Amino acid sequence: METSSGSIKLRRIIHLVDHTGNMIELSLFGPRAQEFDGDTVYEVGQNSHVIAIFVGPSMKQYKGSPPFLSGTAACRWYINENDVTEIRDFYKCLPIQAQPVKKLHLKNHEEIQKQRVC
């Protein structure tokens, strides 16, 4: 993501989907994006449910866009944490068969620039 100053800032977009199919986007920026281990979540999510609790994100909405969550420095997450009672209890309510986690492809800076030229 390019900031208003022209510098590039790492951004990770996570689609959070509940058991009924409702989805909301969570954006993590800079160091928070690097700290989130998306590859491990993806690997685990190929064969089992991934239950995540995100604490501290801010709800944002820009004109004409759907609302989304923004993970600031205060944002923390708990993924498949067996010592969190709520995760253990929720896991028991899910069907045995898990739908695999999907990896989103987002265009990088070069792809966006190339698209603008064409």
Question: Do the domain assignments include residue 65?
Answer: yes
Q: For residue 15, give the CATH number of its domain.
A: 2.40.50
Number of domains the chain is built from: 1
Of 44, 50, 38, 41, whose CA–CA distance to 80 is shortest? Answer: 50
pLDDT in tens, 80-113: 998 889 888 888 888 888 888 888 776 666 766 6
pLDDT of residue 3: 45
Question: Do the domain assignments include residue 26?
Answer: yes
Question: Do the domain assignments include residue 80?
Answer: yes
Question: Do the domain assignments include residue 1?
Answer: no
Q: Which domain, by its residues, includes 53? A: 11-117
Question: Do the domain assignments include residue 4?
Answer: no
Of 11, 3, 7, 9, whose CA–CA distance to 28 is shortest? Answer: 11
